[in-house]
Amino acid sequence: MAALLKVPVSNKDHIQGNNNARITLVEYGDFQCPYCGQAYPIIKRVQEHFGSQLRFVFRNFPLTEIHQFAEMAAETAEFAAKHNRFWEMHDLLFENQANLGQDLLVELTQKLQLPVPDLMNSLQSSTFEEKIKQDFLGGVRSGVNGTPAFYINNVRFDESYDYDNLVLAIQRAQNV
């Protein structure tokens, strides 16, 4: 039996796409995870393919034991979210994943014309730690044990997350 998403999608989530879409794809991801980096362009293609039929949700699941900058990257994305720029930062983090570190986070913050001193204060005081922790714990409750972890309409997708498999799984979910 596939694991189910235990925390329903809400306005606290980072959502892209049509809120009334028949299909919701939730990703628990880590900005430093190479597999999440590989999944990033695939998800973009899937979003393009389904258009307004798909709602995409990203939740933080930083694997801090193995990814030194995962938490800092998640906090930077949450900082950008506070300025309504989450998705731009999300994309930039994955597109520059190979250079992830504090210097890159500052550079991307500048690129989005966000206040770097405020970012540094947020990182120093762990302003967004609680939000990230809530995402993480919701993932644990939902059975996430690695990244990326995907849920299609609240059911964990346990197959290979290549483009063809994701499209097929979403098409199957549409017909349920």
Domains identified in the chain, total number: 1
Confirm whether pTM is higher than 0.85.
Answer: yes
Name the residue range of residue 39's domain: 14-174
Mean pLDDT on 134-138? 97
What is the residue-averaged pLDDT of the chain?
96
Phi, psi dihedral angles at 58 (to 5 degrees)? -115, 130
Q: Quick check: is 71 in a domain?
A: yes
Q: Quick check: is 151 in a domain?
A: yes
Cβ burial 146-160 (10 Å sphere, 16+ → b, else e): ebbbbbbbbbbbeee
CATH number for the domain including 110?
3.40.30.10
Q: Quick check: is 5 in a domain?
A: no
Q: Quick check: is 24 in a domain?
A: yes
Q: Quick check: is 8 in a domain?
A: no
Write out the H or E segment, with its range, that includes residue 152: strand 149-152
Name the pLDDT band for 14 (thresholds 50, 70, 90). Answer: very high
Q: Quick check: is 64 in a domain?
A: yes
Q: Which amino acid is at 101?
A: G
Distance of CA 50 to CAs 78, 99, 106, 170, Å? 26, 31, 34, 9
Q: Quick check: is 32 in a domain?
A: yes
